Structures are given as C-alpha cells and as structure tokens.
Amino acid sequence: MSLITLDVVALDCPDPRALAGFYAEMLGWQVTADDDEWVEIAGPEGRPLAFQRVAEGYRAPQWPGQEVPQQQHLDFNVPRARIDEAESKVVALGAELVRHDEGVRNFRVYLDPAGHPFCLCFT
C-alpha cells in the first residue's frame, strides 16, 4: 500500500451547500460534512467530494477559453443508452451543456452551477 493516498477532491465555489446539493442529486450521494465553509458528499464507495467557500473574488473557470483556466474537471461515466436521460437530469439540476459532439467524441461537456466544467462520458 502506498504511503500517500488521495483523501478528497475539493472544488472552490461561492456557495458550497448549493454546489454540494447539485452533485449530491446528480450522483445520488449524501452530504457527510457541512460547516458552511466546507461541505462534503460521499457515495457508496465512501470517496468524498468536497466544496470549499471562496468568500471574495471567486471567478468561475471559463471553458473552452483560458482567461480563467479550468485547472481541473470531473468526468462521470454514463451508459451510452442513457446519456440523454443523464443530460436531462444534470440540466434540470442547473448544469449548462457547452459541448455536444455526438458521433465524434464519447463525452459531452457541461458547466456546473458554479461554472466548473465536467463531462458525462459514455462507452
């Protein structure tokens, strides 16, 4: 076993509870920690995803531009036959579709409510 292991991936945002709620609904996960400045959600495997408040000066990443670099993004797997259903779900929760290259790529790119890019990937 490695001496160093990954603990949590954290996303900066202006409203951690709202963004945690978006991803918890999208993934069917539960909030496991909430102190207003830091909110964590976790799924059945136990791996957490965290959301950290940036009180002043938060600038959402710009995608595909690099004026405000994305610095990271999240990829989520979806069965190909259910990609439209998954897209409807994330859009209803507040995501924005920004790239849909059906037939060219096996993913679609969205922005979460705080502007972070993420992909629904299908095989």
- What fold characterizes domain 59-123? 2,3-Dihydroxybiphenyl 1,2-Dioxygenase; domain 1 (3.10.180)
Pairing of strands 96-100, 74-78: unpaired
- What fold characterizes domain 1-57? 3.30.720
Cα separation, 36 vs 40, in Å, equals 10
Widest pairwise Cα distance in the chain: 43
Residue-wise pLDDT tens digits, 63-105: 887 887 767 788 899 999 999 999 999 999 999 999 887 778 8
H or E element, residue 92: helix 83-92
- Residue spans of the domains in the chain: they are 1-57, 59-123
Cα separation, 86 vs 22, in Å, equals 13
Residue-wise pLDDT tens digits, 18-63: 999 999 999 999 999 999 899 999 999 888 999 999 988 888 888 8
Token representation of residue 72: 């990271």
